[in-house]
Amino acid sequence: MEPTIIALRGFNRFYTRLVGALDARFLDTDVTLPEARLLFEIATREPATASALQAAMGMDAGYVSRIVARFEERGWIRRDRDDADSRARPIRLTDAGRAIFATIDTRQRGAVADLVAPLDAVGRADLIEAVARVRLLLDPASIDGFAIRTFRTGDIGRIAARQSILYAESHGWGRGLEVVEGEVTTAFLRNFAPGREQCWVAEIDGVMAGSVFVTDEGDGTARLRLLYVEPFARGRGIGDALVATCIGFVRDRGYARLTLWTQAVLETARRIYARHGFEQIDEAVHHGFGQPVAGETWRLSLT
């Protein structure tokens, strides 16, 4: 825990300096960063009440009220009466307020553009993913929804590495599992049969959140392999969506059955398979992951 705390506090100090969060004149304007943020919220939400702005920003209500009063004194906003509730006074920007907001917004976009200009396309993509990953790790609910796409260059190796890391942490499965992951993913790439096999990746705001494979086993049988969902992405239905995608794919391709091999301790995955009609047909203890584990074979008939 302590290294995490030190790292995050260090990043906070770095970032507040980087963006001028403590500057009395943010981007050489007559506002501080909190005031610029509140001005942004008003511009993108108007009309909005002070209470709605306070809730959106998570700031102290009194602090928000003082900033709003300051904006009103400067002629940047106007506050209307609400006939339905005399306590609610919707806030709107005046022409002067829109002008100062446009100045701040333009300068901020320019400052960010200058900051990322040295990065190439890969670096910019890495930055976008890193920012989204931080949000998902610290506040998973801050980003809604997910998307499922087919695999791209580089995905397969990342999937093998990520699953090996996660299962080593959660179940103590070490080198043995990593060997299996590497063999399965390498064989998939080497022998990939377009139209008969596929790998799907679930993403949340560009961050890999899970994946699954389907491979052709011959004789009308397809195999579902390497289903996983990132810890920060669980509870969103991603595992169910990935399995449903596999089933739809193999049905469309005319397979007679879909089989899979899982482990008895992976209870969440087993519940997903059962919900989608799979039935366990075999169980055997193996030592492939460096310790005795009960492996299970499950099958879904498609005929």
Same domain as 107, residue 161: no
**DSSP notation for the chain:** -HHHHHHHHHHHHHHHHHTTTT-SSGGGSSS-HHHHHHHHHHHHH-SB-HHHHHHHHT--HHHHHHHHHHHHHHTSEEE---TT-TT---EEE-HHHHHHHHHHHHHHHHHHHHHHTT--HHHHHHHHHHHHHHHHHH-GGGS---EEEE--TTHHHHHHHHHHHHHHHHH---HHHHHHHHHHHHHHHHH--BTTBEEEEEEETTEEEEEEEEEEEETTEEEEEEEEE-GGGTTSSHHHHHHHHHHHHHHHTT-SEEEEEEETT-HHHHHHHHHTT-EEEEEEEE-TTSS-EEEEEEEEE--
* Domain stops at, among 67, 98, 118: 118
Contacts of 111 (CB under 8 A, 6+ apart): 27
Do 203 and 68 have their domain in common? no
Q: Is residue 11 part of a domain?
A: yes
Structure confidence at residue 106 (pLDDT): 92
Indicate if 197 and 234 belong to the same structural domain.
yes
Residue 124 lies in a domain: no
Domain shared by 257 and 155, yes or no: yes
Q: Which long-range contacts does 275-280 make (Cβ < 8 Å, 24+ apart)?
A: 275/240, 276/240, 276/243, 276/244, 276/247, 276/300
pTM of the model: 0.85
CA–CA distance, 251 with 179 (Å, rounded to integer): 31
Total domains present in the chain: 2
Whether residue 45 is found in the same domain as residue 156: no
Residues 171, 217: one domain?
A: yes
132 within some domain: no
Same structural domain, 104 and 17: yes
**205 and 96, same structural domain?**
no
pLDDT tens-digit profile, the chain (303 residues): 888 899 889 888 988 888 888 888 888 888 888 889 989 989 888 888 888 888 888 888 888 888 988 999 999 989 887 666 645 788 989 999 999 999 999 999 998 999 999 999 999 999 999 999 999 999 998 899 999 999 999 999 999 999 999 999 999 998 899 999 999 999 999 999 999 999 999 999 999 999 999 999 999 999 999 999 999 999 999 999 999 999 999 999 999 999 999 999 999 999 999 999 999 999 999 998 888 999 999 999 998
Residue 163 shares a structural domain with residue 260: yes
Distance CA 15, CA 13 (A): 6
- Contact call for residues 274 and 295 (beta carbons, < 8 A): no
Q: Which of 77, 99, 118 is the last residue of a domain?
A: 118
**In a domain? residue 131:** no
Domain contains 199: yes
46 occurs within a structural domain: yes
Does one domain contain both 151 and 290?
yes
Q: What is the pLDDT of residues 127-186, one digit of tens each?
A: 999 999 999 999 998 899 999 999 999 999 999 999 999 999 999 998 899 999 999 999
The range of the structural domain enclosing residue 101 comes to: 2-118
Both tokens assigned to 147: 């998307």
User: Cα–Cα distance between 156 and 182 in angstroms, integer?
Assistant: 9
Is 125 part of any domain? no
The token pair that represents 225 in the structure block: 């392999």
